Structure 1
Amino acid sequence: MKALLLLALGLLLPGLTDAQQKAPAKKTPPVTAQLTPAASGPKRPRNLSDEQLLDLVQRQTFRYFWDFGHPVSGMARERSNRSFDYGDEVVTTGGTGFGLMAIIVAAERKWITREQAAKRTLKIVNFLWKADMYHGVFPHWLNGATGKTIRFSPKDDGGDLVETAFLYEGLICARQYFTGNTPAESQLRNKILWMWEGVEWTWHQQNDQNVLYWHWSPNNGWSMNHQIHGWNECLITYVLAASSPKYAIDKKVYDQGWATGNYFKNGKQFYNTTLPLGFDFGGPLFFSHYSFLGLDPRGLKDQHADYWQQNQAHTRINYAYCVDNPKKFKGYGPDCWGLTASDSYQGYAAHSPTEDLSVISPTAALSAMPYAPKESMAALRHFYNDLGDNLWTEYGFVDGFSEQQNWYAKSHLAIDQGPIVGMIENHRTGLLWKLFMSSPDVQRGLTRLGFESPQLKR
């Protein structure tokens, strides 16, 4: 997602996405407890079937959001280790959206009761109800005890539209899931609706320009000056902005703001696979995960691409690169692949075929399960069976590792843990896709932008 500062790299390379501009300096911090070293962590049951192993990995990863959620707010902590000096209270907006989807999966699979899930979701919603927001838009980081903004960088101390979109991806799923008549479910539905109606997406057009801007701050105004162009992880931002009941953008904002620039259309072949959109070789794999936890890419098309084909092509290229292994890094192969943004031995980096530091990020292959199930399962078994002494903890797999460097992270990040639970579930049952796509607002927004989908009601 985004890292700590826009630094000079963002100025020298203006075509990069927000993720790639900010990644080299990301200092996602806090939290209370340092994890037990993986080698002394939980034992791993052996000889599991595919379904048993998927169950175990989803359930263990879900614990990051359930056991390790902030005790006051219930929100997802940015990361599991205290790597930087930001205090113990930092919670993340987008990661909480992914965590809400993990809670829904847990309720549906009966790892927790529906009542427990509704209670935790309402706790989060009640916290957000009183937390800082800016024209209805939440900041990237909040203080999990007070709801006050914690600035992400010197001028990033206000609304973050992309993080807010990731949050509402989860909140909309929750509103579609918790349809019961209990006081908790009724209250959370109402409060989600009222907050959702209040997000001023059009404010982020900065005086009616046909593009969305990422940040606005009451202290710094539009000085971050970061327009959201594609192709990257931000498609969901434009879809939700078009879906708003009260502040919906027009299609021309999507056409002239999102679907433009040197890194939107591609059309070239890499490893004998044609890539419709995006950077050469596809960029980090989270491009095909974050927006598509809710958005169902199966049959999703507009005038620019077939998004199932896009995400499959991106995944196949990433996989083929790791198998080819042009830098001859130790460990890479058909059962050890997946490059995306994660921690590394050098700090945080947006790993991809064009930024390959020998670091494999488990979330990359595991969250690609819908697009490459055979290859993802091979990687999952290798991570669990062969490398588990170094990778497996009480919150699932660690964030990244490099056999070349003999380095294994001790950290977990909310934005990496969440897609593992959600995308595996979408592969297995399509649960989150069904929920999100069933929203009448989302249906209206996709139609407004010219999308086709088998799930759109005509």
Structure 2
Amino acid sequence: MDRYVLHHAESYRSVMRQSGWLALAAASLLLGLRGPLAGGPPSAAPTPSDRERFMDDVQRRAVTFFVQCAHPETGLVRDRAGNFAPDTYDVASIAATGYGLAALPIGVRRGWIARDEAEKQAERTLRFVLGMPDKRGWMYHFVDWSTGERRWNCEVSSIDTGLLVIGALTCGQFFRGTGVERLANRLYDRLDWTWMRTNGGAKPDKLLISHGWKPEGGFLPNDWDAYCEHMFLYLLGLGARRDPLPAGSWTAWKRGRFEYDGIQAIAAGPLFWHQMSHAYYDFRGRKDALGFDYHEEAVRATRIHRRFCAANATGRKGYGIHGWGLNACDGPDGYMAYGVPAPEDGTLAPTAALAAIMADADAALTTAMHMRDTYGSRIWGRYGFVNAYNLDRDWFDRDVIGIDLGMALLAIENHRSGLVWKMLAAHPSTRRAMDKAGFVRKG
């Protein structure tokens, strides 16, 4: 994609040399990251212990990305990186930075990052982020990773600011009673929810959150008005201590019904719709004021994805019972939001199948391990899975994308320990949000 053409390769290399980052990154030791990466994929049939080693390897490679691809001074995490060779990408995304903050507790808990170094990194990142350009607390989607300045004429993004904030709050709960927790709450408390909801006061009765704002043209024309990845953003708004969203904002967005092969779900679309919010909020065994169990909806949507790819295996080389993972990702012709029933062209995103571990652990792990074992070094690199591949076009991505690695990392940790769910559940905003949205235990 054109947006990934980098303009500051020399300054990037200069920063690396000055910080000693290249040597540290090569040794996987920055912030106390310990031990070499695990070896190549095993050839034996997977056993329970194989699965544990696989999850460990995937997680450690993802944590390595968030360590190595965070700027040594600002802490901003690059939007993407090369998975097989050095690159010169110098654009960070605030969403990837949020996942980077949430990755630090996982790295500490797994013994790959020293706790004191992770705390320092989190505090350094949050202090820098709080000094970056913003609009009523909302932040630009893409920024220069060394300065924090806006890049690519991008928007002030509500959803990406939300991903930054929720990652910060999660990290803050791991480092409770420290500067990390205080700075994370400051980042959250400064959000002007009324401004983003009412388009700056122009639509005072509107309940839906705008996609964002640009200085050149004002508010973007669309709102978060139908089921997708946005649930976490509404829950953050409902639970805010200052200027919260009204309860009506939760019920204002549309819930549809999609059916495939006799399976009904709230939607199908790309898989990340059913993963992004679920990686932070534990919806299991709960229903909201409208009676929706969003965990069960994700289970059914994942089943639809698997059935769809299995049914279309004769037309797509990569599809099958262990070949699924339609998602917003890189493709042979550029970035595309692939999904069920369309668009699709045979492109699969391995991390999307893996992040489905929260909905169907056996299917997710079996598929991900099959992909790694079948395609090996074409899709498996220093940071784990490449973003996507397409067998019909004989195309294999060379990059990873931060938010997709982050979703898979958090999803696996929730499957293994529930750590991310527990950390966010401990924040007072979660109870306020769940109560306001009418969530109750099913029984």
The 8 Å contact of residues 131 and 147 in structure 1, kept in 2 or not, is answered as yes
Which of 202, 218, 225 aligns to 1:229? It is 225
- Give the corresponding residue for 1:283: 269
- Give the corresponding residue for 2:372: 384
Q: How does 1:266-277 map to 2 (within 5 A)?
A: 266=257, 268-275=258-265, 277=266
The 8 Å contact of residues 240 and 445 in structure 1, kept in 2 or not, is answered as yes
- Is 1:173 the equivalent of 2:173? no
- Is 1:297 the equivalent of 2:297? no
Which of 328, 337, 341 aligns to 1:350? It is 337
Amino acid in the other structure paired with 2:284: R
The 8 Å contact of residues 339 and 359 in structure 1, kept in 2 or not, is answered as yes
The 8 Å contact of residues 81 and 89 in structure 2, kept in 1 or not, is answered as no
- Give the corresponding residue for 2:358: 370
Tell me the CA shift for residue 408 of structure 1. Answer: 0.5
Tell me the CA shift for residue 115 of structure 1. Answer: 1.2
Tell me the CA shift for residue 160 of structure 1. Answer: 1.1
Q: Give the distance between the partners of 1:160 and 1:152, measured in 2 at CA.
A: 12
Q: Give the distance between the partners of 1:89 and 1:328, measured in 2 at CA.
A: 39
Aligned partner of residue 194 in structure 1, secondary structure:
helix
- Is 1:393 the equivalent of 2:384? no
The 8 Å contact of residues 61 and 397 in structure 1, kept in 2 or not, is answered as no
- Give the corresponding residue for 2:325: 338
Aligned partner of residue 357 in structure 2, secondary structure:
coil
Q: Give the distance between the partners of 1:451 and 1:376, measured in 2 at CA.
A: 28
The list of structure 1 runs, each at least 4 consecutive aligned residues, that deviate by more than 6 angstroms after superposition, is: none
Q: Give the distance between the partners of 1:121 and 1:453, measured in 2 at CA.
A: 34
The 8 Å contact of residues 72 and 144 in structure 1, kept in 2 or not, is answered as no
Which of 214, 236, 252 aligns to 1:240? It is 236
Which of 183, 187, 191 aligns to 1:191? It is 183
The 8 Å contact of residues 331 and 403 in structure 1, kept in 2 or not, is answered as yes
The 8 Å contact of residues 38 and 57 in structure 2, kept in 1 or not, is answered as no
- Give the corresponding residue for 2:27: none
The 8 Å contact of residues 98 and 170 in structure 1, kept in 2 or not, is answered as yes
Amino acid in the other structure paired with 1:294: Y
Q: Give the distance between the partners of 1:50 and 1:88, measured in 2 at CA.
A: 33
Amino acid in the other structure paired with 1:196: Y
Amino acid in the other structure paired with 1:250: P
- Give the corresponding residue for 2:311: 324
Tell me the CA shift for residue 112 of structure 1. Answer: 0.9
Structure 1 stretch 233-242 or stretch 63-72: which is displaced more? 63-72
Q: Give the distance between the partners of 1:326 and 1:312, measured in 2 at CA.
A: 21
Amino acid in the other structure paired with 1:252: G
Tell me the CA shift for residue 424 of structure 1. Answer: 0.8
Tell me the CA shift for residue 150 of structure 1. Answer: 2.0
Q: In the TM superposition, what whole-angstrom CA distance separates every residue of 1:323-367 from its partner, at most 9, and x where no partner exists? A: 112662113222221111110111111111321110110111100
Tell me the CA shift for residue 227 of structure 1. Answer: 1.2
Q: In the TM superposition, what whole-angstrom CA distance separates every residue of 1:13-37 from its partner, at most 9, and x where no partner exists? A: xxxxxxxxxxxx8845658699xxx
Q: Give the distance between the partners of 1:152 and 1:76, measured in 2 at CA.
A: 19
Aligned partner of residue 336 in structure 2, secondary structure:
strand
- Give the corresponding residue for 2:58: 57
Aligned-pair Cα RMSD in Å: 2.2
Q: Give the distance between the partners of 1:140 and 1:128, measured in 2 at CA.
A: 12
Aligned partner of residue 344 in structure 1, secondary structure:
coil
- Give the corresponding residue for 1:265: 256
Kindly tell me: are residues 287 and 26 of structure 1, through their superposed partners in 2, closer, same or farther at Cα, counting changes over 3 Å? farther
Aligned residues: 400
- Give the corresponding residue for 1:428: 416
The 8 Å contact of residues 345 and 407 in structure 1, kept in 2 or not, is answered as yes
Tell me the CA shift for residue 309 of structure 1. Answer: 0.8
Q: Give the distance between the partners of 2:2 and 2:284, measured in 1 at CA.
A: 33
Tell me the CA shift for residue 70 of structure 1. Answer: 2.1
Which consecutive unaligned segments of at least 5 residues does structure 1 have? 1-24, 35-40, 181-185
Amino acid in the other structure paired with 1:253: S
Kindly tell me: are residues 152 and 236 of structure 1, through their superposed partners in 2, closer, same or farther at Cα, counting changes over 3 Å? farther
Tell me the CA shift for residue 88 of structure 1. Answer: 4.2
Aligned partner of residue 331 in structure 1, secondary structure:
coil
Q: In the TM superposition, what whole-angstrom CA distance separates every residue of 1:217-276 from its partner, at most 9, and x where no partner exists? A: 344322x222111211111111111111111010122223x2x3xxx221x43122121x
The 8 Å contact of residues 29 and 90 in structure 1, kept in 2 or not, is answered as no
Which consecutive unaligned segments of at least 5 residues does structure 2 have? 14-36
Kindly tell me: are residues 107 and 399 of structure 1, through their superposed partners in 2, closer, same or farther at Cα, counting changes over 3 Å? same
Amino acid in the other structure paired with 1:293: A
- Give the corresponding residue for 1:306: 293
Kindly tell me: are residues 78 and 445 of structure 1, through their superposed partners in 2, closer, same or farther at Cα, counting changes over 3 Å? same
What is the TM-score normalised by the length of structure 1?
A: 0.82
Kindly tell me: are residues 28 and 247 of structure 1, through their superposed partners in 2, closer, same or farther at Cα, counting changes over 3 Å? farther
What is the TM-score normalised by the length of structure 2?
A: 0.85
Kindly tell me: are residues 203 and 193 of structure 1, through their superposed partners in 2, closer, same or farther at Cα, counting changes over 3 Å? same
Kindly tell me: are residues 70 and 345 of structure 1, through their superposed partners in 2, closer, same or farther at Cα, counting changes over 3 Å? same
Amino acid in the other structure paired with 2:283: P
Q: Give the distance between the partners of 1:308 and 1:292, measured in 2 at CA.
A: 8
